[in-house]
Amino acid sequence: MGTACDDPIGIFDSGLGGLSVVQAIRRRLPAEQLLYVADCAYAPYGGRPTAFIRARALALAGFLQTQRAKALVVACNTATAAAAEALRRQLELPIIAMEPAVKLAAAATRCNVVGVLATEGTLASARFAGLLARFAGAVRVVTRPAPDLVLLVERGEIDGIEVMRRVQAHVSHLLRQGSDTIVLGCTHYPHLRPLIERAAGPEVAIIDTGPAVARELRRRLEEKGLARSSAGGGTIRIWTSAAVDSARAVSQRLIGSGHDALVIDALPNLPMLQSDAWMQATGR
């Protein structure tokens, strides 16, 4: 059977943070059926070896293909850096991946200093070095890994004094170096955007790649005649590789309780290319 407009869109991230991308897609493509895999058992990906992330990404994408995904969105900058090329080599379907919006930020900055918040994995990647080489030009790019913010979002902690204190520490670092534009280079951070904006102040532009990814996804679907055309009625179905109950509570916290019918299931054990012993040694 061929691909049909009614087939779903597959999306994945290391955990629930990538729901920020799901929200952006939902706004732009309200009729689509969205399948989201949160690899919570292995989150965060940020400090993990590239080969491990690549193996997980291929396994999650394979699972989404078995669910008839007509397109794949890598809702994770870290997995894009580690696995986008491997995914494109191995899968036939349209793949939309995400990376920190250095190009946009370099065009937006007025004082020629841009701050990028991202994971260690993204910042250390050859892909990120390539982005800087291509798009930074004369703009100075200041980077700041913020793994603690990923953990907070994974626990659904997106407000409160302690969370604000941690956000402030990262944002102040970027401001002290002169940034007037901050790139949210990890899909977990948009959940903290109100706090990041408060810490940065009104003069600083905050850039999130989620809406651009949703636009690009729509363009690719329309180009292939694969967009679902109806007035709305799209659904969100989630699988998690960790506990279902806590994923449900955190999801509702992150994307609101307006999704009563949010279906969350346990992700089945996925075949990995590497042996379990290798996974144990490098991944856990």
Residue 45 Cβ vs ligand DGL, minimum distance, rounded to whole Å: 4
Only one of the segments 41-49, 199-207, 216-224, 247-255 lies at the binding site for ligand DGL (rule: CB under 6 A); that segment is: 41-49
Catalytic residue IDs: 76, 186
Strands ordered across the beta sheet of 113-118: 140-145, 113-118, 181-184, 205-208
Residue 53 Cβ vs ligand DGL, minimum distance, rounded to whole Å: 9
Only one of the segments 44-52, 174-182, 217-225, 270-278 lies at the binding site for ligand DGL (rule: CB under 6 A); that segment is: 44-52
| Beta strand spans in the chain (E) | 9-13, 34-38, 71-74, 95-97, 113-118, 140-145, 181-184, 205-208, 236-240, 263-266
Cβ distance to ligand DGL smaller for residue 16 or 226: 16
Only one of the segments 70-78, 133-141, 190-198, 246-254 lies at the binding site for ligand DGL (rule: CB under 6 A); that segment is: 70-78
Among 44, 115, 190, 210, binds ligand DGL (CB under 6 A): 44
Helix (H, G, I), strand (E, B) or coil at 84: helix
> Exposed, middle or buried: residue 230 (CB in 10 Å: 0-12, 13-18, 19+)?
exposed
Which residue, judged by CB position, is nearest to ligand DGL in the bound state? 46
Contacts of residue 148, Cβ cutoff 8 Å, sequence gap at least 6: 166
> From CA 88, how far away is CA 199, in angstroms rounded?
38
Q: Indicate whether 283 belongs to the interface with ligand DGL (CB under 6 A).
A: no
**Closest listed residue to residue 54, CA positions, set 103, 160, 153, 125:** 125
| Overall residue count recorded for the chain in this entry | 284
Q: Indicate whether 23 belongs to the interface with ligand DGL (CB under 6 A).
A: no
Residue 52 Cβ vs ligand DGL, minimum distance, rounded to whole Å: 12
Are 119 and 145 within 8 A, CB to CB? yes
**Closest listed residue to residue 31, CA positions, set 169, 280, 252, 218:** 218
Residue 103 is encoded by which pair of tokens? 């190009």
Cβ distance to ligand DGL smaller for residue 20 or 181: 20
Per-residue binder mask for ligand DGL (CB under 6 A), 160-199, x = binder: --------------------------xxx-----------
Per-residue binder mask for ligand DGL (CB under 6 A), 3-22, x = binder: ----------xxx-xx----
Among 23, 33, 78, 241, binds ligand DGL (CB under 6 A): 78
Cα–chain center distance at 234 = 20
Cβ distance to ligand DGL smaller for residue 7 or 99: 99
Interface with ligand DGL (CB under 6 A)? 13-15, 17-18, 43-46, 76-78, 119, 122, 150, 186-188
